[in-house]
Structure 1
């Protein structure tokens, strides 16, 4: 029934919103998943043009609250979305869980894939793995802070973690720097020069949960909410999974 109602709503949009346009903003861990591909599918089915833009995590809230024209749909990690909601920055009925991105180990293409299925095995691999490229924990990225917290645990004393000064840890590994990298899975998948080994053991808490919502500044809340429902419907889950996100 839910799928039928959504299809009917999309059909209505396709006939009534020929010139409509919505703006979607999200940080890299959502942007690098299936957001762009599903936005293109939404446009094909409804005629509503979707502009998708990546925003830095450290400036996300300021951009969402201050950009002109304002965004219609915002994607954020759960804690930032909760902050935005408390500030009145989203329509409360639009708060929608999207999925989870896990931090994982990456190696160069063709390199062996070590067993990191336990914290102890991961620690052994990282300590003997040479230079481990990571996002800078002081660079304003939440991912860098999470990785920094994990590597500060006593089990990982002696790991040669190298914070990158340009871009991501995985991007540095893809450029030929270092020996391994810790990065969110979608940001490993989109670099053909490197390969995913496996996500970190779950007990380390190395993940980010993604949320979507309609901005309270949106001038087209109807189409914005339809977009959120479209990208979170059951039929969209394979697209997110293929890019490395685990949809809720």
Structure 2
């Protein structure tokens, strides 16, 4: 391990408290869904620098039959060690014997939110009544083909009494993020996990669904059946640890673990360490 990396990245010092340093570097193959991606992409470089393990990453939706969805890729026999996806999708993979029973580790909770293209009006979705009117008024609506969109199209739109009224202007988005569709002007409003909407600088984030309509989804990690290794367990343990929680929180997710407190300031008269 390079000491200059530790000196410039204090988070690594915290990380090392949560990881038993491996005797040798390992390769870990991971497939993750979009909801955890923003946090994942910040955490993986820290993990690799601290352990010297090499993480190879693929991406796919938590559910659905799109060619690049996680269920489709596993059905084709693609090889992974760890999967990260919405909890309902993970439990289905456990029931099918693709993910090892008892290996589920919850990483974070997620809320569903809405965004519009930057500079366009931000409709009100703060109450059930306001959201209903926004859906009726919208010229076009995009929603995910994964966990959040399954809830919207399979339950919420009908619950609000708008399913038939918006069916010709609401579109399920496959194999790309809803934010991409809204950003290029192909949909007026878009719904997805908050953590998947916030990274888009071309969008204005409007807010989450009203609390009484919200579906809280856990993003959870599991180990592929027959591929449990110390390295994969170490990686999942870090993603769920208090050492990772602050970064998870910064991406719009609610970490399951409580973040570690910041380090105490040096005592008066004591020099600060570099």
TM-score, length basis structure 2: 0.75
1:221 and 1:95 map into 2 onto residues whose CA distance is 14
Which 10-residue stretch deviates more, 180-189 or 36-45? 180-189
1:155 and 1:34 map into 2 onto residues whose CA distance is 35
The residue aligned with 2:212 is 203
| Equivalent residue for 2:49, pick from 41, 44, 56 | 44
Deviations 1:110-149 (A, max 9, x none): 33434322111211223233322334xxxx5333322213
Note if contact 1:36-1:52 (Cα within 8 Å) is conserved in structure 2.
no
1:60-79 correspondence runs (5 A) = 60-64=70-74, 67-68=77-78, 70-79=79-88
The residue aligned with 1:144 is 149
The residue aligned with 1:223 is 231
2:172 and 2:15 map into 1 onto residues whose CA distance is 44
Which 10-residue stretch deviates more, 78-87 or 32-41? 78-87
CA RMSD of aligned residues (A): 2.7
| Equivalent residue for 1:189, pick from 195, 198, 204 | 198
| Equivalent residue for 2:24, pick from 17, 21, 41 | 17
SS in 1 for 2:226: coil
1:83 and 1:244 map into 2 onto residues whose CA distance is 26
1:148 and 1:239 map into 2 onto residues whose CA distance is 31
2:161 and 2:240 map into 1 onto residues whose CA distance is 38
Aligned residues: 235
C-alpha displacement of 1:236: 1.1
Deviations 1:52-95 (A, max 9, x none): 11024334235336535x21111122122222223443344431
C-alpha displacement of 1:42: 0.5
1:103 and 1:181 map into 2 onto residues whose CA distance is 10
Note if contact 2:81-2:223 (Cα within 8 Å) is conserved in structure 1.
yes
Which structure has the larger Rg?
A: 2
The residue aligned with 2:106 is 97
The residue aligned with 1:54 is 59
C-alpha displacement of 1:5: 11
| Equivalent residue for 2:40, pick from 35, 41, 54 | 35
The residue aligned with 1:177 is 186
SS in 1 for 2:111: strand
SS in 2 for 1:80: helix
TM-score, length basis structure 1: 0.82
Note if contact 1:94-1:225 (Cα within 8 Å) is conserved in structure 2.
no
Q: Structure 1 segments of 4 or more deviating over 6 A? A: none
Which 10-residue stretch deviates more, 115-124 or 226-235? 115-124
C-alpha displacement of 1:8: 5.1
C-alpha displacement of 1:24: 0.8
Asked whether 1:26 is paired with 2:35, we answer no
